[in-house]
Protein backbone atom coordinates (compact mmCIF):
# COMPACT_ATOMS: atom_id res chain seq x y z
CA UNK A 1 0.00 0.00 0.00
CA UNK A 2 3.06 2.25 -0.25
CA UNK A 3 2.62 2.18 -4.03
CA UNK A 4 1.96 5.62 -5.46
CA UNK A 5 -1.19 6.59 -7.32
CA UNK A 6 -2.16 9.89 -8.94
CA UNK A 7 -2.36 12.00 -5.78
CA UNK A 8 -0.47 9.93 -3.18
CA UNK A 9 0.04 6.40 -1.93
CA UNK A 10 -2.70 3.79 -2.07
CA UNK A 11 -3.08 3.85 1.72
CA UNK A 12 -3.33 7.64 1.91
CA UNK A 13 -5.86 7.78 -0.93
CA UNK A 14 -8.12 5.10 0.55
CA UNK A 15 -8.06 6.74 3.98
CA UNK A 16 -9.09 10.08 2.45
CA UNK A 17 -11.77 8.36 0.38
CA UNK A 18 -13.16 6.61 3.45
CA UNK A 19 -13.31 9.85 5.43
CA UNK A 20 -15.14 11.56 2.57
CA UNK A 21 -17.55 8.73 1.81
CA UNK A 22 -18.67 7.25 5.12
CA UNK A 23 -21.72 9.08 6.54
CA UNK A 24 -20.73 11.00 9.66
CA UNK A 25 -23.68 9.50 11.54
CA UNK A 26 -22.69 5.96 10.66
CA UNK A 27 -21.41 3.87 13.58
CA UNK A 28 -19.00 1.09 12.61
CA UNK A 29 -15.98 -0.91 13.73
CA UNK A 30 -12.76 -0.65 11.74
CA UNK A 31 -9.63 -2.75 12.04
CA UNK A 32 -6.29 -2.82 10.25
CA UNK A 33 -3.51 -5.40 10.40
CA UNK A 34 -2.48 -3.98 13.77
CA UNK A 35 -5.19 -1.66 15.16
CA UNK A 36 -8.85 -1.83 16.16
CA UNK A 37 -11.42 0.98 16.44
CA UNK A 38 -14.70 -0.31 17.86
CA UNK A 39 -18.12 1.39 17.59
CA UNK A 40 -16.87 4.68 16.20
CA UNK A 41 -17.70 7.18 13.46
CA UNK A 42 -15.35 9.01 11.12
CA UNK A 43 -15.03 12.05 13.40
CA UNK A 44 -13.85 9.85 16.27
CA UNK A 45 -10.94 8.30 14.40
CA UNK A 46 -10.06 10.88 11.75
CA UNK A 47 -6.67 11.72 13.31
CA UNK A 48 -5.88 8.03 13.88
CA UNK A 49 -6.63 7.14 10.27
CA UNK A 50 -4.60 10.03 8.87
CA UNK A 51 -1.61 8.94 10.96
CA UNK A 52 -1.75 5.23 10.06
CA UNK A 53 1.72 3.82 9.45
CA UNK A 54 2.77 1.06 7.08
CA UNK A 55 3.42 -2.40 8.45
CA UNK A 56 4.85 -5.63 7.13
CA UNK A 57 2.32 -7.64 9.17
CA UNK A 58 -0.46 -9.10 7.09
CA UNK A 59 -3.64 -10.54 8.56
CA UNK A 60 -4.75 -13.65 6.62
CA UNK A 61 -8.32 -13.71 5.36
CA UNK A 62 -9.41 -16.36 7.85
CA UNK A 63 -8.23 -14.11 10.69
CA UNK A 64 -10.05 -11.16 9.12
CA UNK A 65 -13.27 -13.17 9.19
CA UNK A 66 -12.77 -14.27 12.78
CA UNK A 67 -12.08 -10.66 13.80
CA UNK A 68 -15.16 -9.41 11.95
CA UNK A 69 -17.28 -12.18 13.42
CA UNK A 70 -16.25 -11.16 16.95
CA UNK A 71 -17.32 -7.56 16.25
CA UNK A 72 -20.78 -8.38 14.85
CA UNK A 73 -23.34 -7.68 17.55
CA UNK A 74 -26.22 -9.56 15.94
CA UNK A 75 -24.99 -12.50 13.83
CA UNK A 76 -28.55 -13.27 12.68
CA UNK A 77 -29.10 -9.78 11.24
CA UNK A 78 -28.96 -9.97 7.42
CA UNK A 79 -27.89 -6.30 7.27
CA UNK A 80 -24.34 -6.90 8.52
CA UNK A 81 -21.78 -5.48 6.08
CA UNK A 82 -18.05 -6.22 5.79
CA UNK A 83 -16.03 -3.88 3.58
CA UNK A 84 -12.54 -5.19 2.80
CA UNK A 85 -10.04 -2.68 1.37
CA UNK A 86 -6.85 -4.35 0.13
CA UNK A 87 -4.46 -4.71 -2.79
CA UNK A 88 -5.34 -8.46 -2.77
CA UNK A 89 -1.89 -9.82 -3.46
CA UNK A 90 -1.85 -13.36 -4.81
CA UNK A 91 0.36 -14.79 -2.04
CA UNK A 92 -2.63 -14.41 0.29
CA UNK A 93 -5.03 -17.38 0.54
CA UNK A 94 -8.24 -17.16 -1.44
CA UNK A 95 -11.43 -15.92 0.14
CA UNK A 96 -14.00 -18.27 1.65
CA UNK A 97 -17.27 -17.08 3.16
CA UNK A 98 -18.20 -20.18 5.15
CA UNK A 99 -16.84 -18.72 8.39
CA UNK A 100 -18.83 -15.46 8.12
CA UNK A 101 -22.49 -16.13 7.47
CA UNK A 102 -25.21 -13.46 7.39
CA UNK A 103 -22.78 -10.72 6.35
CA UNK A 104 -22.51 -9.05 2.98
CA UNK A 105 -18.91 -8.89 1.78
CA UNK A 106 -17.81 -5.94 -0.34
CA UNK A 107 -14.33 -5.90 -1.89
CA UNK A 108 -12.58 -2.61 -2.60
CA UNK A 109 -9.32 -3.19 -4.51
CA UNK A 110 -6.54 -0.61 -4.09
CA UNK A 111 -4.04 -0.86 -6.91
CA UNK A 112 -1.62 1.37 -8.72
CA UNK A 113 -1.74 1.27 -12.52
CA UNK A 114 1.37 -0.06 -14.28
CA UNK A 115 3.46 -0.07 -11.11
CA UNK A 116 7.16 -0.65 -11.76
CA UNK A 117 9.21 -1.77 -8.77
CA UNK A 118 12.78 -2.84 -8.04
CA UNK A 119 13.47 -4.61 -4.74
CA UNK A 120 16.63 -5.42 -2.82
CA UNK A 121 15.77 -9.06 -2.11
CA UNK A 122 18.63 -10.21 0.12
CA UNK A 123 22.30 -9.88 0.96
CA UNK A 124 24.74 -12.55 2.10
CA UNK A 125 28.46 -13.16 2.56
CA UNK A 126 30.68 -15.35 0.39
CA UNK A 127 34.30 -15.67 1.41
CA UNK A 128 36.75 -14.75 -1.34
CA UNK A 129 40.28 -14.80 0.13
CA UNK A 130 41.77 -14.94 3.65
CA UNK A 131 41.96 -11.12 3.55
CA UNK A 132 38.66 -10.26 1.80
CA UNK A 133 35.04 -11.37 1.65
CA UNK A 134 32.42 -10.88 -1.02
CA UNK A 135 29.10 -9.32 -0.04
CA UNK A 136 26.48 -10.53 -2.53
CA UNK A 137 23.38 -8.36 -3.03
CA UNK A 138 20.44 -9.77 -5.02
CA UNK A 139 17.93 -7.45 -6.69
CA UNK A 140 14.78 -8.13 -8.71
CA UNK A 141 12.40 -6.09 -10.84
CA UNK A 142 8.87 -6.75 -12.06
CA UNK A 143 9.60 -5.05 -15.41
CA UNK A 144 12.49 -4.57 -17.83
CA UNK A 145 14.96 -2.13 -16.31
CA UNK A 146 17.99 -0.22 -17.40
CA UNK A 147 21.06 0.02 -15.17
CA UNK A 148 20.27 1.09 -11.60
CA UNK A 149 22.74 2.71 -9.13
CA UNK A 150 23.33 0.71 -5.92
CA UNK A 151 25.05 2.29 -2.89
CA UNK A 152 26.67 0.65 0.13
CA UNK A 153 26.97 2.55 3.43
CA UNK A 154 28.78 1.87 6.69
CA UNK A 155 26.66 3.86 9.15
CA UNK A 156 26.25 7.14 7.22
CA UNK A 157 29.50 6.83 5.26
CA UNK A 158 29.30 5.82 1.58
CA UNK A 159 31.92 3.10 1.10
CA UNK A 160 31.00 1.72 -2.34
CA UNK A 161 28.77 2.47 -5.31
CA UNK A 162 28.08 0.42 -8.41
CA UNK A 163 25.42 -0.22 -11.04
CA UNK A 164 23.00 -3.15 -11.29
CA UNK A 165 22.41 -4.71 -14.70
CA UNK A 166 19.30 -6.90 -14.97
CA UNK A 167 19.11 -10.15 -16.94
CA UNK A 168 16.19 -11.54 -18.95
CA UNK A 169 14.56 -12.79 -15.74
CA UNK A 170 14.70 -9.23 -14.32
CA UNK A 171 17.28 -10.21 -11.68
CA UNK A 172 20.68 -8.78 -10.82
CA UNK A 173 23.52 -9.83 -8.49
CA UNK A 174 25.93 -7.21 -7.17
CA UNK A 175 29.26 -8.12 -5.54
CA UNK A 176 30.97 -5.81 -3.03
CA UNK A 177 34.48 -6.81 -1.90
CA UNK A 178 35.17 -5.96 1.75
CA UNK A 179 38.12 -6.56 4.10
CA UNK A 180 37.83 -9.45 6.56
CA UNK A 181 37.30 -8.63 10.26
CA UNK A 182 36.06 -5.09 9.59
CA UNK A 183 32.97 -4.22 11.64
CA UNK A 184 30.27 -2.78 9.38
CA UNK A 185 26.85 -1.40 10.30
CA UNK A 186 25.68 -1.63 6.74
CA UNK A 187 22.89 -0.36 4.56
CA UNK A 188 22.40 -0.96 0.84
CA UNK A 189 20.17 1.53 -0.98
CA UNK A 190 18.68 2.08 -4.43
CA UNK A 191 16.59 4.92 -5.89
CA UNK A 192 13.31 3.52 -7.17
CA UNK A 193 9.90 5.13 -7.52
CA UNK A 194 7.95 1.92 -6.80
CA UNK A 195 7.61 0.66 -3.24
CA UNK A 196 9.65 2.49 -0.63
CA UNK A 197 10.32 -0.19 1.98
CA UNK A 198 12.38 -2.47 -0.29
CA UNK A 199 14.69 0.32 -1.51
CA UNK A 200 17.04 -0.32 1.39
CA UNK A 201 18.30 -3.36 3.25
CA UNK A 202 20.13 -3.20 6.59
CA UNK A 203 22.82 -5.65 7.67
CA UNK A 204 25.78 -5.86 9.99
CA UNK A 205 29.11 -7.63 9.90
CA UNK A 206 30.34 -7.90 13.48
CA UNK A 207 33.32 -9.56 15.06
CA UNK A 208 32.69 -13.28 14.63
CA UNK A 209 32.45 -15.07 17.98
CA UNK A 210 33.89 -18.59 17.96
CA UNK A 211 31.74 -21.49 19.13
CA UNK A 212 33.28 -23.81 21.72
CA UNK A 213 33.06 -27.51 20.83
CA UNK A 214 34.55 -30.32 22.92
CA UNK A 215 34.72 -34.00 21.99
CA UNK A 216 35.18 -36.81 24.53
CA UNK A 217 36.24 -40.22 23.21
CA UNK A 218 37.97 -43.48 24.17
CA UNK A 219 40.50 -43.18 21.32
CA UNK A 220 41.78 -40.27 19.15
CA UNK A 221 39.47 -39.26 16.28
CA UNK A 222 40.31 -37.07 13.30
CA UNK A 223 37.07 -36.39 11.39
CA UNK A 224 35.55 -33.85 13.81
CA UNK A 225 38.59 -31.56 13.73
CA UNK A 226 38.20 -31.28 9.95
CA UNK A 227 34.56 -30.13 10.32
CA UNK A 228 34.97 -27.65 13.19
CA UNK A 229 37.45 -25.27 11.56
CA UNK A 230 39.50 -22.76 13.51
CA UNK A 231 37.98 -19.68 11.85
CA UNK A 232 34.52 -20.47 13.30
CA UNK A 233 35.02 -22.89 16.19
CA UNK A 234 37.31 -23.48 19.14
CA UNK A 235 37.54 -27.26 18.97
CA UNK A 236 39.16 -29.49 21.58
CA UNK A 237 39.39 -33.26 21.80
CA UNK A 238 39.93 -35.17 25.07
CA UNK A 239 40.24 -38.80 25.97
CA UNK A 240 37.79 -39.77 28.70
CA UNK A 241 40.56 -40.84 31.11
CA UNK A 242 42.24 -37.38 30.87
CA UNK A 243 39.10 -35.21 30.76
CA UNK A 244 39.06 -32.18 33.06
CA UNK A 245 35.41 -31.76 34.04
CA UNK A 246 36.06 -28.09 34.76
CA UNK A 247 36.44 -27.53 31.00
CA UNK A 248 32.83 -28.51 30.29
CA UNK A 249 30.97 -25.45 31.62
CA UNK A 250 32.61 -23.12 29.08
CA UNK A 251 31.55 -25.23 26.07
CA UNK A 252 28.61 -24.71 23.75
CA UNK A 253 28.57 -28.25 22.32
CA UNK A 254 29.89 -31.46 23.90
CA UNK A 255 30.21 -34.62 21.78
CA UNK A 256 30.33 -38.01 23.49
CA UNK A 257 32.11 -39.89 20.74
CA UNK A 258 31.59 -43.65 21.11
CA UNK A 259 32.18 -43.96 24.85
CA UNK A 260 31.82 -47.48 26.26
CA UNK A 261 29.95 -46.00 29.25
CA UNK A 262 28.97 -42.61 30.64
CA UNK A 263 30.39 -42.33 34.18
CA UNK A 264 28.03 -41.11 36.89
CA UNK A 265 30.21 -38.06 37.63
CA UNK A 266 30.14 -37.06 33.95
CA UNK A 267 26.36 -37.56 33.84
CA UNK A 268 25.90 -35.11 36.73
CA UNK A 269 28.03 -32.46 35.00
CA UNK A 270 26.21 -32.98 31.68
CA UNK A 271 22.82 -32.72 33.36
CA UNK A 272 23.75 -29.29 34.72
CA UNK A 273 25.30 -28.38 31.35
CA UNK A 274 22.02 -29.05 29.51
CA UNK A 275 19.99 -27.04 32.05
CA UNK A 276 22.32 -24.10 31.42
CA UNK A 277 21.60 -24.11 27.69
CA UNK A 278 24.40 -26.42 26.49
CA UNK A 279 23.99 -28.91 23.64
CA UNK A 280 25.16 -32.54 23.59
CA UNK A 281 25.74 -35.07 20.80
CA UNK A 282 25.74 -38.74 21.82
CA UNK A 283 27.33 -41.32 19.51
CA UNK A 284 27.14 -44.76 21.19
CA UNK A 285 29.84 -47.41 21.28
CA UNK A 286 28.77 -50.68 19.64
CA UNK A 287 29.62 -52.57 22.86
CA UNK A 288 28.25 -49.86 25.13
CA UNK A 289 27.20 -50.31 28.73
CA UNK A 290 23.52 -49.68 27.98
CA UNK A 291 22.58 -49.27 31.64
CA UNK A 292 24.81 -46.19 32.00
CA UNK A 293 23.53 -44.73 28.70
CA UNK A 294 19.90 -45.41 29.57
CA UNK A 295 20.21 -43.75 32.96
CA UNK A 296 21.22 -40.49 31.29
CA UNK A 297 18.83 -40.82 28.32
CA UNK A 298 15.82 -41.67 30.45
CA UNK A 299 16.35 -38.68 32.74
CA UNK A 300 16.89 -36.20 29.89
CA UNK A 301 15.04 -37.52 26.82
CA UNK A 302 12.63 -40.15 28.16
CA UNK A 303 14.42 -42.49 25.74
CA UNK A 304 16.34 -45.75 26.14
CA UNK A 305 18.33 -48.23 24.10
CA UNK A 306 16.58 -51.61 23.81
CA UNK A 307 19.00 -53.89 22.01
CA UNK A 308 21.57 -54.03 19.27
CA UNK A 309 20.85 -55.13 15.71
CA UNK A 310 23.38 -56.61 13.30
CA UNK A 311 21.07 -56.11 10.34
CA UNK A 312 22.64 -53.84 7.71
CA UNK A 313 20.51 -50.81 6.91
CA UNK A 314 20.61 -47.61 4.90
CA UNK A 315 19.57 -44.12 5.89
CA UNK A 316 16.58 -43.37 3.65
CA UNK A 317 14.82 -40.26 4.98
CA UNK A 318 15.93 -36.77 6.00
CA UNK A 319 13.71 -34.42 8.02
CA UNK A 320 14.12 -31.42 5.72
CA UNK A 321 11.94 -29.19 7.93
CA UNK A 322 14.03 -29.67 11.07
CA UNK A 323 16.30 -26.68 11.87
CA UNK A 324 19.33 -28.96 11.51
CA UNK A 325 18.63 -29.51 7.80
CA UNK A 326 16.17 -26.76 6.89
CA UNK A 327 18.63 -24.62 4.92
CA UNK A 328 21.02 -27.38 3.79
CA UNK A 329 19.16 -28.41 0.64
CA UNK A 330 17.53 -26.08 -1.89
CA UNK A 331 14.82 -28.67 -2.50
CA UNK A 332 13.77 -32.08 -1.26
CA UNK A 333 16.04 -34.60 -2.95
CA UNK A 334 15.48 -38.24 -3.84
CA UNK A 335 18.69 -39.29 -5.63
CA UNK A 336 20.93 -38.69 -2.63
CA UNK A 337 23.97 -40.78 -1.68
CA UNK A 338 22.60 -42.03 1.62
CA UNK A 339 24.99 -43.65 4.13
CA UNK A 340 24.64 -47.23 5.34
CA UNK A 341 25.12 -48.92 8.72
CA UNK A 342 26.41 -52.37 9.59
CA UNK A 343 25.02 -52.31 13.13
CA UNK A 344 22.70 -50.07 15.13
CA UNK A 345 20.68 -49.97 18.34
CA UNK A 346 16.92 -50.10 18.50
CA UNK A 347 15.50 -47.49 20.88
CA UNK A 348 12.31 -46.88 22.80
CA UNK A 349 11.50 -43.24 22.05
CA UNK A 350 8.86 -40.78 20.85
CA UNK A 351 11.42 -38.18 19.79
CA UNK A 352 11.23 -36.66 16.29
CA UNK A 353 13.42 -38.48 13.76
CA UNK A 354 15.97 -36.33 11.95
CA UNK A 355 17.45 -39.23 9.98
CA UNK A 356 15.49 -42.45 9.46
CA UNK A 357 16.59 -45.91 8.30
CA UNK A 358 14.93 -47.77 5.43
CA UNK A 359 12.96 -49.94 7.89
CA UNK A 360 11.54 -46.93 9.74
CA UNK A 361 13.88 -47.11 12.74
CA UNK A 362 15.58 -43.84 13.74
CA UNK A 363 19.26 -43.15 13.11
CA UNK A 364 19.31 -39.62 14.58
CA UNK A 365 16.80 -38.14 17.04
CA UNK A 366 16.92 -34.89 18.99
CA UNK A 367 15.18 -32.84 21.67
CA UNK A 368 16.08 -30.32 24.38
CA UNK A 369 19.48 -29.60 22.83
CA UNK A 370 20.52 -33.30 22.87
CA UNK A 371 21.23 -35.19 19.64
CA UNK A 372 21.30 -39.00 19.80
CA UNK A 373 22.68 -41.33 17.12
CA UNK A 374 21.53 -44.93 17.32
CA UNK A 375 24.76 -46.36 15.93
CA UNK A 376 28.48 -45.69 16.02
CA UNK A 377 29.69 -43.75 12.98
CA UNK A 378 33.31 -44.90 12.87
CA UNK A 379 34.35 -46.60 9.64
CA UNK A 380 34.18 -50.06 11.21
CA UNK A 381 30.41 -49.79 11.48
CA UNK A 382 29.26 -47.11 9.01
CA UNK A 383 30.25 -45.01 6.00
CA UNK A 384 28.48 -41.98 7.46
CA UNK A 385 31.84 -40.20 7.92
CA UNK A 386 32.38 -40.34 4.17
CA UNK A 387 28.86 -39.38 3.12
CA UNK A 388 27.75 -35.87 2.05
CA UNK A 389 25.62 -35.69 5.22
CA UNK A 390 28.40 -35.70 7.79
CA UNK A 391 29.59 -32.12 7.33
CA UNK A 392 26.20 -30.30 7.38
CA UNK A 393 24.99 -32.51 10.24
CA UNK A 394 27.85 -31.80 12.64
CA UNK A 395 28.47 -28.25 11.40
CA UNK A 396 24.86 -27.28 12.09
CA UNK A 397 24.93 -29.04 15.45
CA UNK A 398 27.84 -26.78 16.33
CA UNK A 399 26.30 -23.68 14.78
CA UNK A 400 22.94 -24.19 16.50
CA UNK A 401 24.57 -24.62 19.90
CA UNK A 402 25.26 -20.88 19.93
CA UNK A 403 22.66 -19.04 17.84
CA UNK A 404 24.82 -16.13 16.73
CA UNK A 405 23.01 -13.26 14.99
CA UNK A 406 22.87 -13.53 11.22
CA UNK A 407 23.83 -10.52 9.14
CA UNK A 408 20.13 -9.59 9.33
CA UNK A 409 16.88 -10.93 10.75
CA UNK A 410 13.27 -10.59 9.53
CA UNK A 411 10.69 -8.46 11.31
CA UNK A 412 7.66 -10.41 12.54
CA UNK A 413 9.41 -13.78 12.69
CA UNK A 414 10.31 -15.49 15.95
CA UNK A 415 14.04 -14.86 16.31
CA UNK A 416 16.35 -16.21 19.02
CA UNK A 417 20.02 -15.30 19.28
CA UNK A 418 22.70 -16.22 21.80
CA UNK A 419 25.37 -13.80 22.93
CA UNK A 420 28.47 -15.15 24.74
CA UNK A 421 27.81 -12.69 27.56
CA UNK A 422 27.26 -13.50 31.24
CA UNK A 423 25.47 -10.69 33.09
CA UNK A 424 25.24 -9.88 36.76
CA UNK A 425 21.83 -10.60 38.22
CA UNK A 426 20.81 -6.91 38.31
CA UNK A 427 21.89 -6.20 34.71
CA UNK A 428 19.71 -6.51 31.60
CA UNK A 429 20.41 -6.12 27.91
CA UNK A 430 18.59 -3.35 26.03
CA UNK A 431 18.12 -2.89 22.29
CA UNK A 432 18.21 0.64 20.87
CA UNK A 433 18.05 2.26 17.46
CA UNK A 434 15.71 4.24 15.17
CA UNK A 435 14.77 6.45 18.13
CA UNK A 436 13.39 3.56 20.17
CA UNK A 437 14.66 1.47 23.05
CA UNK A 438 13.19 -1.76 24.35
CA UNK A 439 14.06 -4.76 26.51
CA UNK A 440 13.73 -8.08 24.65
CA UNK A 441 12.86 -11.33 26.40
CA UNK A 442 16.16 -12.69 27.70
CA UNK A 443 17.44 -15.68 29.63
CA UNK A 444 20.88 -15.92 31.19
CA UNK A 445 22.82 -19.18 31.25
CA UNK A 446 26.22 -20.13 32.62
CA UNK A 447 28.10 -19.11 29.46
CA UNK A 448 25.65 -17.08 27.36
CA UNK A 449 22.55 -14.89 27.28
CA UNK A 450 19.68 -15.81 24.94
CA UNK A 451 17.52 -13.01 23.44
CA UNK A 452 14.14 -13.52 21.76
CA UNK A 453 12.39 -11.15 19.33
CA UNK A 454 8.99 -11.11 17.64
CA UNK A 455 6.77 -8.12 18.44
CA UNK A 456 9.65 -5.66 18.41
CA UNK A 457 11.26 -4.05 16.58
CA UNK A 458 8.63 -3.06 14.01
CA UNK A 459 10.92 -0.79 11.99
CA UNK A 460 13.75 -1.89 9.72
CA UNK A 461 17.23 -0.77 10.75
CA UNK A 462 20.47 -1.52 12.58
CA UNK A 463 20.16 -1.83 16.37
CA UNK A 464 22.64 -1.80 19.25
CA UNK A 465 22.47 -4.45 21.97
CA UNK A 466 24.02 -3.14 25.15
CA UNK A 467 24.03 -2.88 28.91
CA UNK A 468 24.63 0.23 31.03
CA UNK A 469 25.26 2.37 27.91
CA UNK A 470 27.95 -0.04 26.70
CA UNK A 471 27.44 -1.54 23.26
CA UNK A 472 27.89 -5.34 23.31
CA UNK A 473 26.65 -6.42 19.86
CA UNK A 474 24.69 -5.36 16.78
CA UNK A 475 21.57 -6.82 15.20
CA UNK A 476 19.83 -5.81 11.97
CA UNK A 477 16.17 -6.22 11.00
CA UNK A 478 14.40 -5.96 7.64
CA UNK A 479 10.84 -6.48 6.50
CA UNK A 480 10.19 -9.72 4.57
CA UNK A 481 10.22 -9.14 0.81
CA UNK A 482 7.03 -11.04 -0.07
CA UNK A 483 5.12 -7.73 -0.42
CA UNK A 484 7.46 -6.81 -3.31
CA UNK A 485 6.03 -9.53 -5.53
CA UNK A 486 3.33 -7.57 -7.32
CA UNK A 487 1.06 -10.44 -8.34
CA UNK A 488 -2.63 -10.02 -7.59
CA UNK A 489 -5.72 -12.15 -7.19
CA UNK A 490 -8.48 -11.99 -9.81
CA UNK A 491 -11.06 -9.99 -7.86
CA UNK A 492 -14.01 -11.00 -10.03
CA UNK A 493 -13.30 -14.67 -9.35
CA UNK A 494 -13.55 -14.20 -5.59
CA UNK A 495 -16.74 -15.01 -3.75
CA UNK A 496 -18.21 -11.66 -2.67
CA UNK A 497 -21.47 -9.71 -2.82
CA UNK A 498 -19.90 -6.83 -4.71
CA UNK A 499 -16.62 -5.49 -6.07
CA UNK A 500 -16.24 -1.72 -5.93
CA UNK A 501 -13.68 0.83 -7.07
CA UNK A 502 -15.47 3.75 -5.43
CA UNK A 503 -16.22 3.85 -1.70
CA UNK A 504 -18.67 6.76 -2.08
CA UNK A 505 -20.88 4.76 -4.46
CA UNK A 506 -20.59 1.71 -2.22
CA UNK A 507 -21.83 3.56 0.87
CA UNK A 508 -24.68 5.07 -1.17
CA UNK A 509 -25.67 1.61 -2.40
CA UNK A 510 -25.53 0.11 1.11
CA UNK A 511 -27.61 2.99 2.48
CA UNK A 512 -30.12 2.61 -0.34
CA UNK A 513 -30.39 -1.16 0.19
CA UNK A 514 -30.98 -0.69 3.91
CA UNK A 515 -33.60 2.01 3.24
CA UNK A 516 -35.49 -0.26 0.87
CA UNK A 517 -35.41 -3.04 3.45
CA UNK A 518 -36.71 -0.61 6.08
CA UNK A 519 -39.56 0.47 3.73
CA UNK A 520 -40.52 -3.14 3.13
CA UNK A 521 -40.69 -3.66 6.87
CA UNK A 522 -43.11 -0.72 7.14
CA UNK A 523 -45.18 -1.98 4.19
CA UNK A 524 -45.51 -5.42 5.74
CA UNK A 525 -46.29 -3.97 9.19
CA UNK A 526 -48.98 -1.64 7.80
CA UNK A 527 -50.44 -4.40 5.64
CA UNK A 528 -50.77 -6.64 8.67
CA UNK A 529 -52.26 -3.76 10.66
CA UNK A 530 -54.87 -3.08 7.94
CA UNK A 531 -55.80 -6.75 7.80
CA UNK A 532 -56.26 -6.77 11.57
CA UNK A 533 -58.38 -3.59 11.43
CA UNK A 534 -60.54 -5.07 8.66
CA UNK A 535 -61.09 -8.25 10.69
CA UNK A 536 -62.08 -6.18 13.74
CA UNK A 537 -64.44 -4.01 11.69
CA UNK A 538 -66.14 -7.08 10.21
CA UNK A 539 -66.46 -8.65 13.63
CA UNK A 540 -67.82 -5.70 15.65
CA UNK A 541 -69.57 -3.52 13.04
CA UNK A 542 -71.30 -6.31 11.11
CATH number at residue 193: 2.60.40.10
Q: Identify whether residues 42 and 64 lie together within a single domain.
A: yes
Residue 450 main-chain phi, psi, to 5 deg: -100, 130
Cα separation values, 539 from 198, 429, 486, 525, 527, Å: 80, 88, 73, 21, 18
- Please identify, among 178, 205, 232, the residue that sits at the C-terminal boundary of a domain: 205
Q: Identify whether residues 250 and 378 lie together within a single domain.
A: yes
- What pLDDT sits at residue 162? 94
Spatial separation of the C-alpha atoms in residues 513 and 518, rounded to whole Å = 9
Examine residue 381 and state whether it is found in any structural domain, yes or no.
yes
Q: Identify whether residues 221 and 308 lie together within a single domain.
A: yes
- What pLDDT sits at residue 115? 84
- What pLDDT sits at residue 485? 83
| Residue range of the domain that includes 462 | 409-473
Examine residue 19 and state whether it is found in any structural domain, yes or no.
yes
Spatial separation of the C-alpha atoms in residues 248 and 267, rounded to whole Å = 12
Spatial separation of the C-alpha atoms in residues 454 and 452, rounded to whole Å = 7
Q: Identify whether residues 196 and 334 lie together within a single domain.
A: no
Residue-wise pLDDT tens digits, 98-118: 556 678 889 999 888 778 899
Examine residue 479 and state whether it is found in any structural domain, yes or no.
no
- What pLDDT sits at residue 19? 92
Examine residue 146 and state whether it is found in any structural domain, yes or no.
yes
- Please identify, among 401, 436, 451, the residue that sits at the C-terminal boundary of a domain: 401
Residue-wise pLDDT tens digits, 457-467: 999 999 999 98
Of 310, 320, 324, 317, residue with least CA distance to 363: 317
Examine residue 304 and state whether it is found in any structural domain, yes or no.
yes
Examine residue 505 and state whether it is found in any structural domain, yes or no.
yes
The count of domains in the chain is 4
Q: Identify whether residues 240 and 383 lie together within a single domain.
A: yes
Examine residue 393 and state whether it is found in any structural domain, yes or no.
yes
Spatial separation of the C-alpha atoms in residues 481 and 138, rounded to whole Å = 12
Cα separation values, 2 from 35, 53, 131, 161, Å: 18, 10, 41, 26
Examine residue 529 and state whether it is found in any structural domain, yes or no.
no
- What pLDDT sits at residue 393? 92
| CATH at 376 | 3.40.50.880
Whether cis (ω within 30° of 0) applies to the bond prior to 457 is: yes
Instruction: Please list the ranges in the chain whose pLDDT falls under 70.
Output: 91-101, 128, 130, 310, 330-336, 514-523, 526, 530, 542
Q: Identify whether residues 383 and 450 lie together within a single domain.
A: no
Q: Identify whether residues 38 and 59 lie together within a single domain.
A: yes
pTM of the predicted protein model: 0.76
β-pair type (430-433, 436-438): antiparallel
Sheet containing strand 171-179, strands side by side: 118-127, 132-141, 171-179
The dihedral region occupied by 369, where left means phi > 0, alpha psi between -120 and 50, and beta the remainder, is: left
- Please identify, among 188, 205, 222, the residue that sits at the C-terminal boundary of a domain: 205
Q: Identify whether residues 252 and 334 lie together within a single domain.
A: yes
- What pLDDT sits at residue 232? 85
- What pLDDT sits at residue 410? 94
Q: Identify whether residues 296 and 358 lie together within a single domain.
A: yes
- What pLDDT sits at residue 542? 59
Spatial separation of the C-alpha atoms in residues 501 and 14, rounded to whole Å = 10
Q: Identify whether residues 349 and 384 lie together within a single domain.
A: yes
Q: Identify whether residues 280 and 346 lie together within a single domain.
A: yes
Q: Identify whether residues 195 and 77 lie together within a single domain.
A: no
- What pLDDT sits at residue 14? 92
Amino acid sequence: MQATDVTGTLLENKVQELLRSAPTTLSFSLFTNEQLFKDVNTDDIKKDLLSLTYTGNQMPFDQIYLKAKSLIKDPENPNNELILISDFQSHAPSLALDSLKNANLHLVPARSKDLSNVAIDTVYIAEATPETLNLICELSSNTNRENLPVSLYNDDKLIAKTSATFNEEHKSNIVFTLPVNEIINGKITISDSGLEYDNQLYFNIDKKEKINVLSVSEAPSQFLSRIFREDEFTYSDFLLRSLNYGELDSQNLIILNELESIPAALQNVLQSFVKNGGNIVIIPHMDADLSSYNLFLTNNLNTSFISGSTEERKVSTISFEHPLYKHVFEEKITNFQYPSLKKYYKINSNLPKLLTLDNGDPFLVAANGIYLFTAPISLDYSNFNRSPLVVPTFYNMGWNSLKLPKIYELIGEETTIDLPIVLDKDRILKVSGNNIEFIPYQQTYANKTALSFKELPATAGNYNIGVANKNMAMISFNHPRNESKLNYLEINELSANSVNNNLDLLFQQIESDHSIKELWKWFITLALAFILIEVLIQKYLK
